[in-house]
Amino acid sequence: MKFKTIIPCALWLLSVCTAAGAEEFNPVPSFCKWISSNEAAFSYDGSFTDSAAFSIRVPSFERRDGVKAPGKYESFPFEPSEACNLTWAPDSSRFAYTRGGNLYVMDAVNGEETALTDDGSDLILNGYASWVYYEEIFGRPSNYRAFWWSPDSRKLAFCRFDNTRVPLFPIFSAEGKHGSLSLTRYPKAGDENPAVRVGIIDFSAPDQGSAATDRRVGTLSFRTVWADFDETDDQYFGTPFWSADSRKLYVQHEPRIQNCLDLYAVDASDGSKTLVHSESCMTWLEWLDDMLFTPKGMYVARDFETDFQQIYFLSYDGRTFKKLSGGENRGIRLLRVDEKTGLLYFTARRDCSYRNTLYSLNISDGSIIALTDPSLNAAQVTFSPDGRWFSVQLSGFRTPTQVWIYETVRAHSAWANRRQSKLKGRMHHINLPALHSSFKLADAAPDSFRAGDYALPEVVWIEAEDGQPMPGAITYPAGFDPSKRYPVRMEIYGGPQNAYVRERWLSPERYRWFSDNGIISITIDTRAAGHSGRRGSDLVFKDLTSVPVTDALTWAKWLAEQPYVDAERIGIEGFSFGGTMTAMLLIRHHDVFRCGIAGGGVYDWSLYDSHYTERFMLRPQDNESGYRSSCVLEAARSGAGDSLPSGALKLTHGTSDDNVHFQNTLQLADVLQRRGVQFDLMIYPGGMHGYRGAQGRHSEIADQEFWTRWLLNR
């Protein structure tokens, strides 16, 4: 295990950060959309009707202020009572929605409503996701929507969830005179999951199939076909997607032990299925997501064959599955494919494990070229309809956000020449056509900006016990003097494949309080974060906590060896998985960490949801030792935290948290109280998984008071 003493030369400057907040940064537009192949609209609030919205024409880069470019179909001609997730059919002839557990459509012309299902209830949900699917599979942006229109608008796929055997979890609200209970069907690790069926509703002329049910409701005739899966199997379904001709629905399937993924083509006429693609892994597999579709097949990013993600082409019949890329790719997002030029465009953390870059991939030979400067993080990439231009936000820890437009074919030479000109300090030898093919339309940095005037992080690296590199983002105090010793506040997450060290511009206010009060702040990642690919993240399989704990201790040891760190005053903080880590580290290793704030943590993995937990831990009944060693409650029951100084551990939680239940903190509080351990507790009535508004402001001030007491001895 190797450590290096790092004292960045820039930090020898006196009185850094003293100007933090002294002048405002320029606003930059956060949203872009191309309204034609030669004009991009930019908006500050996403409405594209805000007073500051503008557009840029290419290739002249002429600016037009006052642009109005609202999205299409943002309103509906009728407003069905209590309807949820109103969604237009592609041809705008009707729209679908759910209500009371049933799925409906409404005619866009005459407002005629048709119930497509009739068995909806508190337990049966048609087109409305059961909680675990909403949280872990479809995602919160889905807003529980579990139905999908076909491209031809003549079919509607949906999932039917039967929650009959899923346990109820109550969440109490203290509002009002008598309070209230919210009851959620929430499967915890080892519990029964909802039984799921995949249905296809066909509005074209009925054509009886073996799995079909013909119906006529009002003036609308339709047929319901059920995909050929056994709903009694212990299984999961991923987000389905349609074939371009609307004849097949592609359905992703995993067993409860999520180490196999099968993709089936389901015939929309009779529900029969054909296996198209299959993957297996010794640990776990993620769902197919963000695919690019072409007439012959799809491009996907997968990591089941190598330690890192690679880009593949999968034909719709499954006969072709070809790896197209190589190298160390993390967090691939496929953006566009141009089969005429044979180029695919994607962002990934490739040149750097904590920074995204836009790349082009030559499909035929696998060569990859960076289209944005790899020294800056690329975000919000949007291509023009013809692919000739793209807009992008570029930033770094010490570079405020810039918004650029690049000509795609010359993008690489544009940024490379710009970097060369900066290095040489002169403009000759520069490729002017390439330089003129890009345009910076917004820059958050004022003209007088100097990075050294602000509390800004920079990256440091250390090695884990097996030699894997782990990055941290460290921010030093104002007036940093390396001959002095400073307290440290460490921020951690620690969960698998979820890196917290991600370079992009962050407001200096984020770390200003720590900097102004003489506290070093560092955000760390562990091997589980995935900087070394699956070689690191797979280490947490069957034991989510032990490896991240070891890595956090490695970080603490490195910090203690720095001459400018007071090893007796290292505190730690984390939320969600980070709350789990913080509580475990304080209870088991309070000789290393003086204090810590654990927010919204899972303190017994059997109390968290089935899909997330079992992906890494299997079921409790299949991995008893792993659940014990990863359990904060078990650590506390063992007496490991009995000698914690009074108040050194602070627990926080929102009482209405529907993700990590308040139950976790209540059970940990009970164990600590029974052991006689004194701790701080801050609850946020009605708070969810994260504190916002007045609760967020309260939490920030309360945490500052905690650090003042424990790290500054005041």
Domain shared by 83 and 13, yes or no: no
Domain shared by 231 and 89, yes or no: yes
pLDDT tens digits, 559-578: 999 999 999 999 999 999 99
Domain shared by 594 and 683, yes or no: yes
In a domain, residue 16? The reply is: yes
**Mean pLDDT in residue range 73-81:** 86
Q: How many domains does the chain have?
A: 2
Domain shared by 19 and 93, yes or no: no
Q: Rounded to whole angstroms, how far apart are CA atoms 96 and 126?
A: 12
Domain shared by 16 and 80, yes or no: no
Q: Rounded to whole angstroms, how far apart are CA atoms 572 and 594?
A: 8
In a domain, residue 291? The reply is: no
Boundary of a domain, candidates 232, 265, 285: 285
CATH for 647: 3.40.50.1820
How many CB atoms lie under 10 A from the CB of residue 37?
Answer: 14
User: What is the bridge-based pairing of β-strands 241-242 and 220-226?
Assistant: unpaired
| Type of residue numbered 472 | G
pLDDT of amino acid 417: 82
648 has pLDDT over 60: yes
In a domain, residue 2? The reply is: no
Domain shared by 601 and 539, yes or no: yes
CATH for 141: 2.140.10.30
Q: Cα–Cα distances in Å, from 402 out to 29, 143, 393, 405?
A: 9, 32, 6, 10
pTM surpassing 0.85?
A: yes
Domain shared by 18 and 161, yes or no: no
For the sheet with 94-99, list strands across it.
84-88, 94-99, 102-107, 113-115
pLDDT of amino acid 421: 61
Domain shared by 18 and 117, yes or no: no
Q: Rounded to whole angstroms, how far apart are CA atoms 348 and 371?
A: 12
432 has pLDDT over 50: no
pLDDT tens digits, 504-549: 999 999 999 999 999 999 999 999 999 999 999 999 999 999 999 9
Q: Rounded to whole angstroms, how far apart are CA atoms 553 and 464?
A: 10
Boundary of a domain, candidates 252, 285, 318: 285
In a domain, residue 57? The reply is: no
Domain shared by 161 and 221, yes or no: yes
Boundary of a domain, candidates 266, 285, 304: 285
Domain shared by 619 and 479, yes or no: yes
Q: Rounded to whole angstroms, how far apart are CA atoms 508 and 394?
A: 17
Domain shared by 114 and 186, yes or no: yes
Share of the chain residues as helix, strand and coil, in percent rounded to the nearest 5: 20, 35, 45
Q: Rounded to whole angstroms, how far apart are CA atoms 410 and 209?
A: 54
In a domain, residue 464? The reply is: yes
Q: Which helix (H) or strand (E) holds 349?
A: strand 343-349
pLDDT of amino acid 219: 82
Domain shared by 121 and 14, yes or no: no
4 has pLDDT over 50: no
In a domain, residue 36? The reply is: no
Q: Rounded to whole angstroms, how far apart are CA atoms 288 and 314?
A: 12
**Mean pLDDT in residue range 132-157:** 98
In a domain, residue 577? The reply is: yes
Pick the closest to residue 601 from 586, 584, 579, 585 (CA basis). Answer: 579
Q: Rounded to whole angstroms, how far apart are CA atoms 47 and 57?
A: 19
In a domain, residue 332? The reply is: no
Q: Which domain holds residue 238?
A: 73-285
**Mean pLDDT in residue range 133-161:** 98
155 has pLDDT over 50: yes
